[in-house]
Amino acid sequence: MKLWGGRFREEENKLMEDFNSSLQVDKRLYSEDIKGSIAHVNMLVKCELLTQSEGESIRKSLLSILEDIENGTLLIEGDFEDIHSFVEATLTERIGETAKKLHTARSRNDQVALDIRLYAKNKALEVIEHIEDLQHSLEQKAKANNVIMPGYTHLQRAQVVTLKHHLMAYFSMLDRDRKRIHNAIEMMNESPLGCGALAGTTHTIDREMTAEELGFSKPMNNFLDGVSDRDYLLELMSGFSIIMMHVSRLSEELILWSSQEFKFISIDDAYSTGSSIMPQKKNPDAAELIRGKTGRVYGSLTSLLTTMKGLPLAYNKDMQEDKEPFFDALDTVLSCLEIMSKMISTMKVNTENMKKAVKYGFLNATEVADYLVSKGVAFRDAHSIVGSIVIYCEDTNKPIEELTLDELKSVNPLIDEDLYDFIDYQNILNKGIKVNLLK
C-alpha cells in the first residue's frame, strides 16, 4: 500500500505509521490535489508521456473521486500517509495499472507545495472578502452615527471626536490588511509543479502549461526553492496576525464601551452570553473570544517560523508541520472577521451617554490654548495658562465652559466672550482640519 515500499525489507512500525500520517490534517486539500493532478495529466498527454486514452481514463477517474468525496460517498479515511497517497491509492483501486503512471515527472514534494499554494490562494481571497464585509459593517455603523464622543489617549479623556471617525479608523486599518493579503497573493502566485523532488526531471515536461492551467502567473524559477520554502504561508499568517491585532483592539473597545462604566454601546443579545450564577449578567463573549484567539494566531505564525528556521534545503519532513498552524490561523481569522462584522452591524449606540461623557474631562482644554494662540500668545505659554484654568476648574468642580468671564479673565485678561463659542464642543468639530472628524 505504500507509495515508496520497494526498497524496504520490513513493514513500517504501526506507531511510526500513525506518527508519520498527516491525512487527518491535509485531507482538506483533496480538491486542490485532484485538480493539480488533472493539470499534470493534461500536460503529460500533451508532452506525449501518456497516451490520450491513458490521460482520459485517469482524468475521468480523478473527477469521479472528486465528485464522490464531495457527495459524501467516498470518505477520506484509512491507513494512508497523506492526501496524495489516498487519492493515488483510490485511483489505482478504480482503474488499475494506468493509475501507476500518474506520478510520472512528479514528486510529492512539488505536489504538496502546489496543493497548499492553490488552497492558500483561494482561502486568502475569502479572507479579503471577509475583510470587505467587516469594512462595510463599520462604514454603515459609522455613517449612521456621526455623533460626538470623547476621544482618548492613555484611556484618559483627551479631545472630542466622532464615533464615525473612531470607527473609520478601523476601516483604514482593515484597508491596509486587505492590501497586505492581496500583495501576499500576488507574490505567491507562481507554480512549483515540475520542480520534482528538488531537482526537476529528465522528462521534457511543460511547466508553463500547468502553471497557466492552474491560474498561476508563471512557473517558479528555482526547483530547490519551489519545494522548500513556505514563506508564502508565513506572509499570509503575518497578515492574519495583523488583522487579529486590529480586531482585537476593536474587541477591547467594544468590551469597555459595553461596560456599565462607559455605557456607550450595547452588544446585541445574539452575540452575548450570560452567567450560570449571576442572573443579571450579559457578557461580551464574542469580543473576548476574538481578543483571546488573537494569541492563537500569533502562536501559529511563531510555530511555523520556528519550524522553518533551521532547515537545510530542500524538502524536509518537518515541513509537514506547516499545515496545522496555517489551517488553524486561517479558520480563526475567518470566523473572527465574520463574528466581528455581525457584532458591529447589530450593536446599538448610546449617543446620549457619549454626549454626556464629553462634558467631563476637559476635552476642550487644547482648544482653549488654541484660542489664546489666536490672540497672540505663544503656544507653550498658552498651554501653561490653560493648566492653571484646569486646576481652578478641578477645585471649583466646573467644566471650563461654565466658568464666568470674570473668572476666566482673572486667569488671563486676553480671554473674551468669544471664547465660549470657540470651545463649544460641536463648534470645535467644525474648525480647521478638524472638519475631517465629521466627514
- The phi, psi pair for 260, rounded to 5°, reads -60, -30
Asked if residue 413 lies in contact with residue 419, where contact means CB atoms within 8 angstroms, the answer is no
The answer to whether 37 is a known catalytic residue is: no
**Which of residues 81 and 235 has its CB atom nearest to ligand ARG in the complex?**
81
Tell the burial category of 192 from Cβ atoms under 10 Å away from its Cβ (0-12, 13-18, 19+). buried
Question: What x-and-dash track marks residues 234-273 binding ligand ARG by CB under 6 A?
Answer: ----------------------------------------
User: Whose CA is closest to 32, among 236, 245, 215?
Assistant: 215
Interstrand relation of 265-266 and 218-219 (parallel, antiparallel or unpaired): unpaired
Residue holding cell 500500500? 1
DSSP state of 160: E
The footprint of ligand ARG on residues 67-86 (CB under 6 A) is 82
Nearer to ligand ARG, 115 or 253 (CB): 115
- Whether the link from the prior residue into 314 is cis, omega within 30° of 0, is yes
Alpha-carbon distance 317 to 347, whole Å? Answer: 47
Question: Nine-digit cell at 318?
Answer: 518537518
Q: How many CA atoms lie within 13 A of 261 on its CB side?
A: 6
By the 8 A CB rule, do 205 and 43 touch? Answer: yes
**Cα distance between residue 242 and residue 239, in whole Å:** 5
For 310, the grid coordinates are 533551521
Q: Which is nearer to ligand ARG, 30 or 315 (CB)?
A: 315
Residue closer to ligand ARG by CB (options 196, 284) is 196
C-alpha gyration radius of the chain: 31
User: Rule CB under 6 A: is residue 341 a binding residue for ligand ARG?
Assistant: no
Cell of 87: 487519492
Which residue in 50, 91, 112, 134 binds ligand ARG (CB under 6 A)? 112
- Cite the DSSP H helix spans in 189-311: 207-213, 223-228, 231-257, 285-308
Closest approach, Cβ 22 to ligand ARG, in A, equals 5
Q: Does 308 bind ligand ARG (CB under 6 A)?
A: no
DSSP3 helix / strand / coil % (the chain, rounded to 5): 65, 5, 30
- Give the H or E element holding residue 102: none
Task: Please pick, among 53, 172, 259, 275, the residue that the annotation labels catalytic.
Answer: 275
- Kindly tell me which of 108 and 293 has the beta carbon lying closer to ligand ARG: 108
Instruction: Establish if 108 lies at the interface with ligand ARG (CB under 6 A).
Output: yes
Is 275 part of the annotated catalytic residue set?
yes
Binding-site size for ligand ARG (CB under 6 A) equals: 10
Task: Give the number of C-alpha atoms closer than 13 A to the C-alpha of residue 337, restricted to the C-beta side.
Answer: 28
Residue 109 interacting with ligand ARG (CB under 6 A): yes
Binding mask 345-384 for ligand ARG (x = CB under 6 A): ----------------------------------------
Provide the minimum distance between the beta carbon of 319 and ligand ARG in the complex, in angstroms, as a whole number.
Answer: 5
Smallest separation, CB 315 to ligand ARG (Å)? 6
- Give the interface segment with ligand ARG, choosing from 123-131, 149-157, 315-323, 377-385 (CB under 6 A): 315-323
Minimum distance from residue 320 beta carbon to ligand ARG (Å): 4
What's the closest the beta carbon of residue 102 comes to ligand ARG, in angstroms?
16
Please pick, from the candidates 240, 257, 315, 327, the single residue that binds ligand ARG as defined by CB under 6 A.
315
- To ligand ARG, the closest distance from the beta carbon of 115 in angstroms equals 9
Q: State in angstroms the smallest separation of the CB of 230 from ligand ARG.
A: 10
Does position 30 bind ligand ARG by CB under 6 A?
no
Q: Is 228 in the site for ligand ARG (CB under 6 A)?
A: no
Q: Which residues of 90-124 are buried (b: 16+ CB within 10 A; e: fewer)?
A: bbbebbeebbebbeebbbbbbbbbbbbbbbbbebb
320, 332, 341, 364: residue in contact with ligand ARG (rule CB under 6 A): 320
Cβ proximity to ligand ARG: between 314 and 349 the closer is 314
Cβ-contact 98, 57 below 8 angstroms: yes
Q: Locate cell 505567491: which residue?
A: 188
Q: How far is the CB of 198 from ligand ARG (least distance, A)?
A: 9
Residue 51: all three cell numbers together:
497516451
Q: What is the DSSP letter of 161?
A: E
Does residue 45 touch ligand ARG according to CB under 6 A? no
Query: Could you tell me the smallest distance in angstroms from the CB atom of residue 103 to ligand ARG?
Result: 12
Query: Among residues 150 and 192, whose Cβ is nearest to ligand ARG?
Result: 192
Nearer to ligand ARG, 137 or 307 (CB): 307
Residues engaged in binding ligand ARG (CB under 6 A): 22, 26, 82, 108-109, 112, 315, 317, 319-320
Positions marked catalytic: 154, 275
